[in-house]
A and B are shown apart, each in its own frame.
Chain A
């Protein structure tokens, strides 16, 4: 009992933060739907659930996200293998490059994709613009990096000996994969797939831009209902559906993730030379690289064109406000972005670390275990809620003392930290969970205090994954658009917000500058990810 209390005590900080900056705003918006004129009227919300359009929207969201998740996993697995187990030249650079789409603003990627797939584009002949295929391709483009990084990390940490033993006993490579490797990777694949599914199901820009308005997902519908029609009952109904579905998904994922022996292998397999049998995986990786590179190449080429000539003019213009299209030059926005990302990163790390410690300590009773797994899932929820709901919720709930935070400069980094938090938690938890608790007991029995134990047992194992999580959080914060656009003050706009402005301005420079700013953002991200790669994280982290 006392242990459970201590556990809750330690969890209090992060729970409080999430309570104020997530539960309160979302509950506030949902409550507006349930109490339309101050009187409780759940009937109105229930009525929305029976509309045919609601069913249609939910169904589209489910199947498009599921297909996009499967595509991401299928594309990501060979690349995860090739980039983490094989000694390919430049593999660190490729790994960093594959993460770039993850942070690009969807507006820009949408435009780049449409230039490729549109009627006038090089792939226009396929007639994909405005089809569900384009939506799925866009979603996979954004999320395949999550699969590569998390599954790749687990694959690198996989003991190669069981597979070798199976092969020596006569198993074919396919049999080894099916009976030895994939079962061992299951937790990582399930974790990655669940995160990808969450990202897909709540993606907003991709569905609107690439679907040509013919398709509506739960997220775009909530946006339309809230910002345009002001139909808060319907928005609340869909938010509740979203929350219920995501809670179910997280519970399922947690169940599928569990393995009998989660102990982390301390030894990571050294990448080996490429053999003939690896060629399919290498070819698949190269194909994936080409798929990811194509829209980015469109961006780079576009950013280097001024009129009909090649020029660096768009990049030089980044020091200006784009003929008055912006209040601050893009360079200043980049500085703001970096500062905000630093803040968001330390917040996400601090919270994530506490959460990870709480979640991974060995449970003595079933009740305690339940508390831990509920907490684990709780901190994933921000991924699954519409940024519009959160943004409007901030405005209507954090508006009076003691929580008069609407004007606070901390709101943007906090919101970004909430988005990055699940990534941090999912990176650190498997590592901390793999530490044998007997080591801590040994340290304690030798007289070490709890802090000392933390410093000598946990920290040496966890610091590299922690740095990796920092890189992830930093990148996620750099690319965050939905909540930031809603909350950022005009003089403190971040790069994605500025890009959105530029691309919507009819001035001659706007479009080129938006592309140039996207390239700069992509390059900044790639540099950050490369720096993280340099730390040679022993790849124990997995989602």
Chain B
């Protein structure tokens, strides 16, 4: 008797669950009808910093006829690893946001499908040697930034090179995001490796000995510890981007910070069609759109990076204050692919000693 009753309660609970689930407040609705990759939509897999104005995203639907769906999470590394783990059943059609430090992993693991997309003016300069399946979309430099007002006030000459950062004059003045936890941090590590070669661990020891502060990510470094960040910290030297000075305007037609152009390392972000994509035609259309004038023009304001096309106009503040270096540290992607994990492990050992 008891078990019959218990069974009845199970059934009731089951029915209740189903009933409640079907009137879920978030579930159901328009999303479900296209759940199985009908040809009407293109799924873009990207990192958490991806954003574009709604008008631009709407333009894609108008021009191509495909509905765009964005799935974003994690940073460039996490994005690449997600694609590697799901390559048998890809989570979308197109990826955007694999950078030059992770490109080789994505290519080696066979995550990307062959594409044949024409490069607009200037874009081909950013192509990878290894493969043209990754299409360059934007570029920028990670550079050491300084607070010019601070150095003026203190009557100290600001640093110029990476080697300067280990000088006693700049003791306890620098903050750097970690290489294992942030992509500008990794880029900065690559800059030091390009500069110092095999000797880079010794350079980092000198850097740490000179009171450099290591933090979790860019927002911690810039917003909390940098003197010109949102939280008004007390360190006037920070690792950030070449575009950062365009965001610290003083209101009198100038900017309060500048990027040290001799300390920069180039970052390029790529897009590509995923192997096994449900909608390769839509994916190709999206790749072309990402290199098209609408997206390229929107990149500086939305994602704080430079377009790869050289025929689009930069926002006024950028044209004046975001200076790109003529030359930058360059580490060969193949070398990065081979050594990245060892470098990161060694860096962890040096910094957490």
Contact = CB atoms under 8 A, between A and B. Distances in A.
Interface of A: 2-3, 5-7, 9-10, 12-13, 32, 107, 110-111, 114-115, 118-120, 130, 208-209, 212-216, 224, 226-231, 302, 321, 323-327, 336, 339-340, 342-343, 346, 350, 354, 391-392, 395-396, 399-400, 404, 406-410, 412-413, 449-451, 454, 485-487, 489-492, 500-501, 503-508, 510-512
B320 to A, nearest CB: 16
Contact of B216 (A110, A227, A339, A450): A110
A485 B234 contact: no
The secondary-structure label for the interface of chain A is helix
15 contacts: A111-B223, A114-B224, A114-B225, A119-B233, A212-B213, A321-B54, A325-B302, A327-B54, A400-B89, A406-B91, A410-B26, A489-B70, A491-B70, A503-B219, A511-B230
A228 B85 contact: no
B327 interface: no
B20 interface: yes
Interface in B53-70: 53-54, 69-70
B217 to A, nearest CB: 7
Interface residues of B, number: 86
B8 A399 contact: no
B86 interface: yes
Given A118-B233, A214-B214, A354-B13, A506 B304 contact: yes
Interface string B183-223: 00000000000000000000000000000011111111011
B31 interface: yes
A400 B37 CA distance: 13
B224 A118 contact: yes
A451 B12 contact: yes
A399 B89 contact: yes
Contacts of A485: 48, 73-74
Interface of B: 2-3, 5-10, 12-14, 16-17, 20-21, 24-29, 31-32, 35-36, 48-54, 69-75, 77-78, 81-82, 84-86, 89, 91, 105, 178, 180-181, 213-220, 222-225, 229-235, 240-241, 243-244, 247, 298, 301-302, 304, 341, 344-345, 348, 351-352
Contacts of B25: 339, 342-343
B8 A450 contact: yes
Nearest to A405: B35
Contacts of B181: 208, 213, 224
B17 A350 contact: yes
Given A214-B352, A343-B25, A3 B220 contact: no
Contact of A230 (B75, B84, B229): B84
Contact of A213 (B24, B75, B352): B352
Given A32-B85, A399-B86, A409-B28, A450 B6 contact: yes
A325 B51 CA distance: 6
A432 to B, nearest CB: 14
B85 to A, nearest CB: 5
